């Protein structure tokens, strides 16, 4: 949720008992200010701030160089590492983050395949693996499994590592298509120890999105057919630095349909740039601007404070799991 999940959203989630993340992404120019906002609103926090920070590793070594002094000054509870160009970047980020935060910051690494999960566990020994399935909104692997098969296979693979090698076995949290207590309960039943939500928080007042974007999320339905992962929206937005294996899942709109009919990228970009000048009217099924969202988007019907979303999903998941447990016993 680069540029969308800032300190306000992260704090609301954390204050409600979750762990909110600031999406620094590929640019740390405002990160120190965002973390200072967290510190000002949580002056009882001693060393470690009650939020995490997410980074896009494809941005290169300069991002690491720029981020380290900030992490040293404002120690976050966790650092979330995603989308390296090569696996050695994960090792460098892990080692350097642990060094400057004196081991106080937990390492979260997002993966989308069993092979990546095994490699990250062996080389970095993260505290957490974020297991992202194909239903996730925004950027993820263009080729990966859904959570229902990916999560159990990852769990088996890292458990086997623990038996064969003397290394840390990470906690697994599930990501991709989870927007309510039912999805959270399902992920926990499959072996996750927590869940990640992104798309659901787009419909919160704390998310840094335009009203048109939020309205497009609320109007979308049947996300399996009305969203798609690919590179078109990156081409139109000029965000083409992502490694080849990644694409962005967004709600289908006129930009997508015109491309499918054969419109040139140049013409499509021109129309996209025109749409940028129309404000909130630029988003929607009959408009052109990118609405990144996961396949669970059709389950989102209303805007709620991020704290309420966090509490509701947690309590609904607990009720569902208890009810199923009572039925079995």
Which domains does the chain show, CATH number per domain? Answer: 7-207 (3.20.20.70), 211-298 (no CATH)
% of the chain with per-residue pLDDT over 70: 100
Using CA atoms, how far apart are residues 233 and 277, in angstroms rounded to an integer?
Answer: 17
| pLDDT (average), residues 202-210 | 98
E strand or H helix that includes residue 72: helix 61-73
Q: What digits encode the pLDDT tens for the residues 132-156?
A: 999 999 999 999 999 999 999 999 9
pLDDT score, position 326: 78
pLDDT score, position 327: 76
Mean confidence (pLDDT) of the chain: 96
pLDDT score, position 175: 98
Using CA atoms, how far apart are residues 250 and 59, in angstroms rounded to an integer?
Answer: 22
Q: Indicate whether this model's pTM tops 0.75.
A: yes
Nearest to 217 by CA among 138, 300, 308: 300
Q: What digits encode the pLDDT tens for the residues 82-104?
A: 999 999 999 999 999 999 999 99
Angle at 94 between CA 70 and CA 97, to 5 degrees: 20
pLDDT at 291 over 80: yes
| pLDDT (average), residues 49-57 | 98
| pLDDT (average), residues 211-238 | 96
Q: Residue 76 corresponds to which tokens in the numbers above?
A: 């976050």
pLDDT score, position 329: 64
pLDDT at 328 over 80: no
Q: Residue 63 corresponds to which tokens in the numbers above?
A: 């991002």
In Å, how far from its chain's centre is CA 212? 21
| pLDDT (average), residues 241-269 | 97
């Amino acid at each position: 949720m680069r540029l969308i999940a800032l300190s306000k959203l992260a704090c609301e989630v954390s204050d409600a008992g979750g762990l909110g993340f600031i999406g620094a992404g590929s640019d740390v120019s405002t990160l120190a200010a965002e973390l200072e906002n967290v510190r000002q609103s949580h002056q009882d926090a001693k060393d470690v701030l009650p939020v995490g920070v997410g980074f896009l590793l494809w941005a290169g070594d300069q991002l690491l160089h720029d981020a380290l002094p900030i992490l040293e000054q404002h120690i976050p509870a966790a650092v979330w590492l995603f989308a390296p160009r090569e696996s050695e970047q994960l090792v460098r980020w892990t080692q350097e983050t642990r060094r400057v935060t004196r081991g106080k910051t937990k390492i979260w690494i997002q993966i989308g395949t069993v092979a990546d999960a095994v490699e990250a566990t062996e080389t970095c020994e993260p505290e957490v693996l974020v297991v992202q399935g194909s239903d996730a909104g925004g950027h993820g692997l263009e080729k990966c499994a859904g959570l229902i098969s990916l999560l159990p296979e990852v769990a088996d693979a890292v458990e086997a590592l623990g038996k064969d090698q003397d290394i840390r076995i990470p906690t697994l949290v599930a990501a991709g298509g989870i927007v309510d207590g039912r999805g959270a309960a399902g992920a926990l039943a499959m072996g996750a120890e927590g869940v990640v939500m992104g798309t659901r928080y787009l419909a919160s007042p704390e998310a840094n999105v335009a009203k048109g974007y939020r309205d497009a999320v609320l109007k979308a339905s049947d996300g399996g057919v009305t969203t798609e992962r690919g590179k078109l929206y990156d081409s139109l937005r000029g965000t083409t630095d992502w490694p080849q294996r990644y694409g962005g899942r967004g709600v289908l709109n006129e930009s997508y349909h015109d491309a499918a009919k054969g419109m040139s990228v140049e013409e499509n970009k021109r129309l996209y740039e025109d749409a940028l000048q129309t404000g909130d009217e630029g988003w929607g099924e009959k408009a052109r601007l990118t609405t990144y969202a996961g396949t669970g988007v059709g389950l989102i019907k209303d805007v709620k404070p991020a704290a309420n979303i966090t509490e509701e999903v947690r309590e609904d998941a607990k009720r569902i799991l208890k009810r199923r447990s009572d039925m079995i016993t």
